[in-house]
Amino acid sequence: MTDDSKRDKALHARIDNLTSEEQEKMVTAIRQAKKSIAPEARGTIVEGDRKSLPSQDFKALEGDNE
C-alpha cells in the first residue's frame, strides 16, 4: 500500500472527436489502465456528446468517483 500523503497528483484529460465505438473502447481501456497502474486511485469518467460536455466536465468531476 502506498503512503497516502504522497497521493497529491491529479489528471484531467479530454478526448473528443470520437465515434460511439471509439468512445466505448477508450473508456474501457482507461478503466483497465487505472485498475492496473493505480488501483488505490479514485477516478471519474465523464461521457457524452461533444456539445454537452463543456458545461458538465468539472461538475461531474466534483461528484462521485468510480
C-alpha cell at 14: 479530454
CA 14 – CA 39 distance, rounded (Å): 21
Residue ranges of domains in the chain: 18-66
**Please, which pLDDT band fits residue 9 given cuts at 50, 70 and 90?**
very high
Q: Is the pLDDT of residue 28 over 60?
A: yes
Whether 41 contacts 7, CB under 8 Å: yes
Q: What pTM value is reported for the model?
A: 0.71
Whether 56 contacts 48, CB under 8 Å: yes
C-alpha cell at 9: 497528483
